[in-house]
Amino acid sequence: MSHAHQPWSATTGAWRPGTLLDRLREADRTALVSLGSDRRYSSGEALMLDGDSSTDAFVVLGGCVKVLGGTVDGRTVLLSLRGAGDMVGELAAMNGTPRSASVFAATAVRVRVIPARSLRTFMAERPEAATAIHASVADKLRRATRHRVDFTTASTLVRLALALQHLAEAYGRPYASGVRIEVPLSQPELASLVGVSDPSLQRAFRRLRENGLIKTEYRRQIVCRPDLLRHLVERGTLPPPAAQEGDER
């Protein structure tokens, strides 16, 4: 279902569709991941901190990272997740500005750390790859805008369904009872990602569990009925119980 947890191959370019490494031609992809140095982070370790003056870019080769931002009232919220094939920190590398968000390892992570000068030289020498990097940045901005629109107009239930659908597609693995999301997220992190309070999130989770769409484990979610989750996202409502039973058969 997802390429997010598959090992990378320079021959096949087996990366999750839509990631930077998936966009690049084989020669550009190989050249990019040969820059800089390999580094590994344990879950919870910081790759970069908001306001940092560091300018390295990071290409995620394995695992998943959390992008965190600070609010005006001092809270930390989960902005997005990035997985294998994605690049983080590229804005500071390209323009030298301070970091605009913090990035922490959500799981054990392997990255390629690329100095800013090396990335800029790479982009100058490989215009097609530079276009792909700029397109990747533009896509992140578009997704952030779409996220704001969806999450300010949709109900809490639909917001949660949207988030779970994306997480299952990007970071899911087949499991006995469905698709298990392999990124460990706490309830406050999920609440900030969905843009709701903890009690509202709990009520939405309860409805999805009662209708058989999901099961929950400690810091893990299992999507049992992707078809019904998709129905909820597309139509804004759960199908009646009789229809649910008919679909399952």
pLDDT at 5 over 50: no
pLDDT in tens, 107-137: 999 999 999 999 999 999 999 999 999 999 9
Would you give the distance in Å from CA 18 to the centre of its chain? 11
pLDDT at 247: 53
pLDDT at 143: 82
| Dist. CA 167–CA 178, nearest whole Å | 13
Q: Which amino acid is at 25?
A: R
What's the average model confidence in pLDDT over 33-42? Answer: 96
Query: Per mean pLDDT, which range of 31-45, 117-131, 211-225 is the poorest?
Result: 211-225
| Dist. CA 77–CA 162, nearest whole Å | 18
- The model's pTM is 0.81
Centre a 10 Å sphere on the Cβ of residue 148 and count the other Cβ atoms it contains.
11
pLDDT at 17: 87
Per-residue pLDDT band at 244 (split at 50, 70, 90): low
What's the average model confidence in pLDDT over 198-207? Answer: 94
pLDDT at 12 over 50: no
Closest-CA residue to 90 (of 62, 119, 110): 119
Closest-CA residue to 18 (of 142, 179, 181): 142
| Mean pLDDT for the chain overall | 87
